[in-house]
Chain A
Amino acid sequence: MTSKLNITRRRVLGALAASPLLWSAKVRARSGRPAARPIPSSGEAIPLVGLGSWITFNVGNDRAARDASTEVMRNFFLAGGRLIDSSPMYGSAQEVIGYGFRKLGRPADLFAADKVWISDGDEGRAQMETSRRYWGVPRFDLMQVHNLVAWQDHLPTLFAMKAAGQLRYVGITTSHGRRHGDMAQIMASQPLDFVQLTYNLFDREAEQRLLPLALERGIAVIVNRPFQQGGLIRKLERHPLPPWAAEIDCTSWAQFALKFIISHPAVTCAIPATTRVDHVLENLGVATGRLPDTVMRARMAAHVNKL
């Protein structure tokens, strides 16, 4: 299985050199669709790997960089991706996503996830409308309260919008392991569809309380910072990948790290961000191979702890 993947990878990279279009087509044909997991509140399945836009899509008015982001999006969708996540806090990222959709056309199965990030609850609707215009979508699928900012004000608005059919799912987010206590309280008391939090091989606090709570309450989990903005991979790459990683179809530390996250039963989707087409395809490819079971996950965590 591993060698087969390697051959595919080599061919794919060769095809990239020849033509980005050809590369996309080959990936689609060879690797199949990424595995999906259902959103507990609806049963709708979304792929285990999505696309984040923090930093990577904040490229301002740089036309070449916007085109490069569009290429990442195009390959993401061609390889079976659906969920893109952004926020008004991410600079020009929302506009860049909208630019991509104007170039590519909006995929029919797009899962648009954004956030409301403003301390004045009365301004929430206006901010979400601005975000919607940037994206160029008729409505968002998921709207989340970013970093729990003014969540008491925003959540009633979001639930009302959901009831009115102006969005499909409601969520809250945190990152960097912050405010897990507050998040747990909101998860226990509010009818949330989604939570978004940081979880990776190094940041595993969510395993203690939030992930079990999400399972218990039937809340979908989006995982941000799966690679700690690249820092996690840079640390791991100082060491050789263990040979047994091949048992779960891993040929790189990035695959190893991402498989660890998406194999947690509470995790619905991880959203690595990237500026590179080869990375976005590698990320989605992770969801097409074998995933570690509980025993293997423990082995992975123990191995990384020893490094």
Chain B
Amino acid sequence: MSEWWTYSLRDLLLFSPQTYYRMFELYNLECWPLQLFTLAAGLAILGLWRRGGSAAGRAMAAILALGWLWVGWAFHGHRYATINLAADFYAWAFALEAVLLLWLGVIRGGFAQTTSAKMQQRAGLGLFLFALLIFPLLAPFMGRGWAQAELFGLAPDPTALATLGVLLFAGARPYWMLFPIPVIWCVVSGATLWTMESPDFVIPLLAALLAVAGAGGLAGASRRDAQA
């Protein structure tokens, strides 16, 4: 696109807010009753973290990887791509994150270890619980109804937020390679919501900010642990 820098974000929005949110409604109908499984999977992540140990850490990473793979394929590839020309790229990015989670989290087993960065751990836990339990309430709270709720493991925003949360509370050291895609997605989603004048645009942006700051804290803690 020539002179792309002269376009505002609003000029690049291809769809109306009605179409965007209705997409979640149709997607939820199509996925039902998968919502129950993804909620259970989210709670299972918490249980596995509490249990601790290498096997539990690998299982947590596997659940997250499955979520990213599903969102990439089912949401971006088959739903969002019908209204957004960029959604195919998003699908590939989500698939890549799934592969990274499998590699670093499942094969190399980096999750569920203890960390000395307690503040980051609490922030991560809060972010994860918000993504799992509060995020689905945003749709009805903002007058869009339950049918348009966005859930962890099915919709991209809560999946990205929950993953960032897990990376903060269950990683002994930050796996830098796991952060960029969810953080970038949060920025993309925040920008999309902003152009649609949706007041919840701040949520993914704040989550991205929290994750980046938390990752910085984790890196410091990791260095201290190594020196000690």
Query: Chain B contact residues (Cβ within 8 angstroms of A): what range?
Result: 20 to 34
On whether the beta carbons of A91 and B22 are closer than 8 Å, the reply is: no
The one of B6, B18, B23, B26 that contacts A178, using a Cβ cutoff of 8 Å:
B6
Known A55-B16, A92-B83, A275-B18; 15 more pairs at CB < 8 Å: A58-B16, A58-B83, A59-B15, A59-B83, A60-B79, A60-B83, A61-B26, A61-B82, A62-B26, A65-B22, A89-B14, A91-B83, A91-B85, A147-B2, A148-B2
Q: How far is the CB of B46 from chain A (nearest CB, A)?
A: 35
**B83 surroundings in chain A (CB, below 8 A):** 58-60, 91-92
Task: Give the shortest distance, in Å, between B144 (CB) and chain A (any CB).
Answer: 15
Q: Which residues on B sit within 8 Å (CB–CB) of A92? A: 82-83
**5 tightest A-B CB contacts, nearest first:** A60-B82, A60-B83, A91-B14, A91-B83, A58-B15
Instruction: Give A58 to B16 CA distance when docked, in angstroms.
Output: 8
Which of B2, B10, B15 contacts A91 (CB under 8 A)? B15
A90 contacts the other chain (Cβ, under 8 Å)? Answer: yes
Distance from B42 Cβ to chain A, minimum over Cβ atoms (Å): 28
* Shortest Cβ distance from residue A210 to the other chain B in the assembled complex, whole angstroms: 16
Q: A58-B15, A178-B6 are in contact. Are A89 and B23 (CB under 8 A)?
A: no
- Contact partners of B11 in chain A: CB under 8 A: 176
Q: SS class of chain A's interface: helix, strand, loop or mixed?
A: loop
A83-95 interface mask toward B, CB cutoff 8 Å, 1 = contact, 0 = none?
Answer: 0000001111000
> Given known contacts A149-B2, A179-B3, is B22 in contact with A62 (CB within 8 Å)?
yes
Q: Which of B1, B14, B82 contacts A55 (CB 8 A)?
A: B14
Q: Once the chains bind, are A65 and B2 in contact (CB under 8 Å)?
A: no
- The residues of B that contact A90 with a CB separation of less than 8 Å are 14
B87 to chain A: closest residue by CB: A91
Q: Tell me the smallest distance from the CB of A90 to a CB of chain B, in Å.
A: 7
A59 surroundings in chain B (CB, below 8 A): 15, 19, 22, 83
User: B79 — which chain A residues lie within 8 A by C-beta?
Assistant: 60
